[in-house]
Amino acid sequence: MRDVTIVGAGPVGMLLAGELFRRGVDVELLERRPLAGEGTRAIGIHSPVLAALERSGVTEQLLAHAVQVRRGEARRRGRVLGMVRFDALAVRFPLVATLPQSRTEQVLGAGAPEALRGARVLAVLPRRDAVVVRAALQGRIIEIESRLVVVAAGAAGRELVFRPGAARSREYPDRYLMSDASAHARSDPEVAVVHLDPDGVLESFPLPGGRRRFVAWDAPGGDDGPDARRERLRGALVRRGEPEAAAAVSAATSFGVRRVVAPRLRNGRILAIGDTAHEVSPIGGQGMNLGLLDAATLAPLIAAWIREGRAPDAALARWERRRVGSARRAAALAFANTALGRPLGAADAVRRTAVRAMLSPPSAGLFARAYAMGFDLDA
């Protein structure tokens, strides 16, 4: 019997596996994907996560591969409305580290046991003193018994741990276009930029290697063909004064947003973390960080459970309350960011005034703390 089986080898599952492995816990890590992803997807790692991972040495490796973003700017038609100064925060790491998710997974995976890839989990079955994971692997059914199971398999993992309707989902009408492209030589290579224009938000974030992540609000009902997506994103960049970036965009993906916050993260020997337990709008960049903090704060509790042979129920209950509370806070901020980035037409002048006020003293520090996940209950 294994100590712990983790379902999902994305950043959250990989981090938990590495933290448990370092604590001497016997871990089985299962992943549906046959190969590690090569995409960028989530790119920003905030200060609370960097602080939580410093002791294990992971933070040093992440920072070695990342752009260190110490400032963000809100702009409209090239003019700065206000700034978010991460470098003014009184925290251990006053910055946002940006790097492709694939690189984050590589760094986290260096300290974790090798994942069993191509394993599609079919069921998580509780027993009296153990949990059985049933999975399909290379055309056959396997069963793995362990003392505990943690599901960190994203939205697809919810059906393994929650009854239908237990983790209610709210779909938003907003859609976005996204692309990573080479950025021309510019005066702000390490500055995050949010363009707040009447026809919707466009976000621009630095990436290593002289590249940037561009995310633009997209009107619903548009042609979802690859050429149409690319041209709409190029047009959005041109309208916001980024013609060189527009020329560098070769492809664009589209995505929608939804909100899910499960009320419970634990049922006996089964736990859910990351996007399996909560999903927030990626506008604001807090979703992956929320899951990484789930994993970092859960690892010592699981290690104590395995070491002592009994569940630290009181500590787990406190952990669950903090993480659900943090997810609700992150979801509220993500919704506010989503709403702020919608086209407002004639009300755009009101938004400009509000943003200037938000990002000016004395409130500027408060908003910098919020965007840096300083209000997470485990920050």
Sign for the CA dihedral angle at 333, 334, 338, 341 comes to: positive
In angstroms, the CA 375 to CA 41 distance is: 24
Encode pLDDT of 363-378 as tens digits.
Answer: 999 999 999 999 999 9
Contact in structure between 233 and 252 (CB atoms under 8 Å)? yes
In angstroms, the CA 321 to CA 316 distance is: 9
Q: For residue 323, is it within any domain?
A: yes
Q: What share of the chain is helix, strand, coil (3-state, %, to 5)?
A: 40, 30, 30
> For the whole prediction, is pTM greater than 0.85?
yes
Residue 341 backbone dihedrals phi, psi, to 5 degrees: -90, 5
Q: For residue 348, is it within any domain?
A: no
Question: Please, which contacts does 77-80 make with residues 24 or more away whose CB atoms are closer than 8 Å?
Answer: 77/197, 77/240, 77/241, 78/241
Backbone region of residue 298 per phi and psi (left: phi > 0; alpha: psi in -120 to 50; beta: other values): alpha
Q: For residue 373, is it within any domain?
A: no
Structure tokens at 358: 């938000």
Q: Given pLDDT bands bounded at 50, 70 and 90, which one contains residue 138?
A: very high
Average pLDDT of span 194-203:
93
User: Letter for the amino acid at 273?
Assistant: I
Q: How far is CA 227 from CA 48, 149, 313, in A?
A: 39, 43, 54
pLDDT of residue 187: 78
Q: Given pLDDT bands bounded at 50, 70 and 90, which one contains residue 38?
A: low
Contact in structure between 358 and 82 (CB atoms under 8 Å)? yes
Contact in structure between 81 and 357 (CB atoms under 8 Å)? no
**Residue 9, class by beta-carbon neighbours within 10 Å (0-12 exposed, 13-18 middle, 19+ buried)?**
buried
Structure tokens at 101: 């998710």
Q: For residue 295, is it within any domain?
A: yes
Furthest CA-CA distance within the chain: 64
Angle at 42 between CA 358 and CA 247, to 5 degrees: 85
CATH at residue 55: 3.50.50.60
For the chain, the domain total comes to 1
Full residue range of the structural domain in which residue 264 is found = 2-69+93-169+258-340
In angstroms, the CA 33 to CA 35 distance is: 5
Q: For residue 18, is it within any domain?
A: yes
Average pLDDT of span 311-334:
97
pLDDT of residue 178: 96
Q: For residue 231, is it within any domain?
A: no
Q: For residue 190, is it within any domain?
A: no
Q: For residue 111, is it within any domain?
A: yes
In angstroms, the CA 327 to CA 330 distance is: 5
Angle at 71 between CA 68 and CA 73, to 5 degrees: 135
Average pLDDT of span 64-69:
97
